[in-house]
Structure 1
Amino acid sequence: MSDDALPAGTRKPVTHYGSGRGALLDAAVRVVARGGLRGLTYRAVAEEAGVTHGLVVHHFGSRDALIEEAVDHAFRSSLDVSSLDTGAERPGEFAEGLGGMVDEDPDLQAFQYELLLEARRRPDLMPRLRALYDAYFETARRDLARILARPVDRGLSRLVFAALEGLVLHQLVFGEREVTEEALTELRTLLERLADTGTRTTPDTTFDPD
């Protein structure tokens, strides 16, 4: 029904989930999570946010600007909800809340995986995506170094991060948060053994002439 067909003095209702810039970027993340980056249009974001097409155009000006700001927004949001940077001091606390993070905001996680695939086709996305993952890698390395009480090389930090990322992806696709928790228990056990080994194998620097 058009606005003209409505009774005099009434307007077609518009559901406003939020018309501010942040709300529109949240809507963009949800659109990409469901339909991929190629489905990100002004109209799709407007429908998702419950606002007019013109409002989205007003805020972003171009589709490329919308994509760039959505990536930056996801970057900031991801760090805010990251389950890595918790200040954990012991292996048993590592990645606490990972499963809950996926359940709380699955669209944000799906958005990032969509970006990973799209960046293979669009090199212009790589700098922002690289910045996001470099922040993740550094957070994982720092947390592991604190927990293990020793420097952690890139290989170990990437290995652990890859395990976490795989768990996030599998929970996102298959559900089964309980499997995530079981795997995290095993990972923490391995970290406990690494921490214990590092403590017991500190080299003895005492000189023995014999």
Structure 2
Amino acid sequence: MPKRSVADTATTHQAILKHASQTFREHGGSVGINDLMNTLGLTRGGFYRHFDSKDHLFIEAAALGLDEMAQRLTEAASTAEPGRQLEAIITTYLSPEHLHHPEAWCVLAVLAPEIARLPLAVREQLDAAMQRYIGALSPYMPGDTAQERSAQFMLLFSGMAGAISMLRVLGDDETRRQMLNVTRTHYLQWFTRVPEHTSSTQS
């Protein structure tokens, strides 16, 4: 059998990673390697040519999710009117689309408890992606120094991720919609001082 080219190997690696990132966000980290690989028409043996372990894949998949979320939110900011970039970030994050589609949105809002249970040596592998996430979005935060803006990022994003996670627990869709609107209004008023009537345009 001919050897796979470096390009083919890289393409397969990215395909596994992207599929795993979406699958873990949708179904949780308990999804098995066999299920992940079978969906892609690949074998379990092939998995170990790309990743040392499932934990290795899980952390790389989480890192990809953070990078994708940072890109999504910075794009929202880049298309906003001057002075309204943070408003766009908050509105995008606290959106019905995020609430109803965990597979494509914030990895922390769905997988943070599972990541926290991993061994320290594994969790540390996510640090670089977390720093990229903070670095991409903290410039939009209020504060006079980089340290203050990073602190505001942690306050805002831990709260928003927790809110999305809690809202997904609720079974009644109308209650979730109402609470999402209340949460969005709160964070817009607290972090951007946007008037209440401008923050309830989404449902």
TM bracket (short chain): 0.5 to 0.7
Residue 173 of structure 1: aligned partner: 169
Structure 1 stretch displaced more, 83-92 or 154-163:
83-92
The structure with the largest alpha-carbon Rg is 1
Alpha carbons 2:98, 2:105 under 8 Å: kept: yes
The amino acid that maps onto 1:27 is H
1:165 CA drift (Å): 1.6
Structure 2 unmatched ranges of 5 or more:
1-10, 195-203
Matching of residue 93 in structure 1 with residue 88 in structure 2: yes
Normalised TM-score (structure 2) = 0.62
Normalised TM-score (structure 1) = 0.60
Cα offsets for 1:189-208 (capped at 9, x unmatched): 223449xxxxxxxxxxxxxx
1:142 CA drift (Å): 1.4
4+ residue runs of structure 1 moved beyond 4 angstroms? 108-111
Matching of residue 187 in structure 1 with residue 178 in structure 2: no
Distance 1:44 1:115, change over 3 A: farther
Pairwise CA RMSD: 3.6
Alpha carbons 2:37, 2:43 under 8 Å: kept: yes
Residue 199 of structure 1: aligned partner: none
Matching of residue 22 in structure 1 with residue 22 in structure 2: no
Matching of residue 74 in structure 1 with residue 65 in structure 2: yes
1:84 CA drift (Å): 8.4
Structure 1 unmatched ranges of 5 or more:
1-18, 195-210
Alpha carbons 1:140, 1:157 under 8 Å: kept: yes
Structure 1 stretch displaced more, 124-133 or 64-73:
64-73
The amino acid that maps onto 1:70 is A
1:51 CA drift (Å): 0.8
The amino acid that maps onto 1:166 is G
Alpha carbons 2:20, 2:61 under 8 Å: kept: yes
Cα offsets for 1:36-95 (capped at 9, x unmatched): 43x344312123x24132574365253255334323432332323336861452364342
Identical-pair percentage: 13
